[in-house]
Chain A
Amino acid sequence: GAGVSQSPSNKVTEKGKDVELRCDPISGHTALYWYRQSLGQGLEFLIYFQGNSAPDKSGLPSDRFSAERTGGSVSTLTIQRTQQEDSAVYLCASSSGLSDTQYFGPGTRLTVL
C-alpha cells in the first residue's frame, strides 16, 4: 500500500520568502508528526496532530513556523520569512494511533539561500 508522501522533495528558496511543505499520511492514520533534521543532527520533533484534538506545537522553534491538518488527512507545514538556519530536511510521519509505530515519508530538503 501507499506510504507517507511528501512534496516537494526539494525546495530552494531565498531568505525572507515563505514556503509550504506538504505531507500526505498513510490512509486511515489518525496521528501525524513533523520532524526536521539539520545537517549532522538527529531528528527534532516539531509538531503532532492526533484526530480532532488540538495539535501539540511544543517543538516549533519560532512563531514563523505553523502547521495545519485539513480534514484529518493532508498536512501543510508553513515557514514564513525563511532564514538560513531553517535549511534542513523536513520529515513527516504518521501512525494509526499515538501508541503505534510512526512511519516516515522521504522528507523535503529545504535550502534557504
Chain B
Amino acid sequence: EAGVTQFPSHSVIEKGQTVTLRCDPISGHDNLYWYRRVMGKEIKFLLHFVKESKQDESGMPNNRFLAERTGGTYSTLKVQPAELEDSGVYFCASSQGQGAVGYGYTFGSGTRLTVV
C-alpha cells in the first residue's frame, strides 16, 4: 500500500510569489489533514477535509492560504502571495476514522517551504 505522498519535498520562493503544495493521501482514506510546523515549534493544525468537503479550517492562518481537494482524492494547498512567516514544514496526513479515533494518522514526509 502506498503511503501519503507530498510534493515537492522542498520549495524555495521569493516573498510575494505563489506556491502550491500537493498531497496524495492513502487510497480510501476519506479524512485528509494539513498541518504546519514553523521553526521547531509545535505542529499546528491547518485544516481537515472529509472527502472533498472542508470539515474544519479553523487553523488556516489567513486568506492567503487556499486548500482544495479535488473529487475527494488529492489535495492542494496554495499560498498566494507568500510571506516570510509562511516558511516551515507543511505536513499532510490521512486517516480512515475521523480524528484518528482508534487509527492514528499516516503522515507524508512533508514539504519544506522557505520564503526568502
Partners in one complex: no
Chain B residues in contact with chain A, CB under 8 A? none
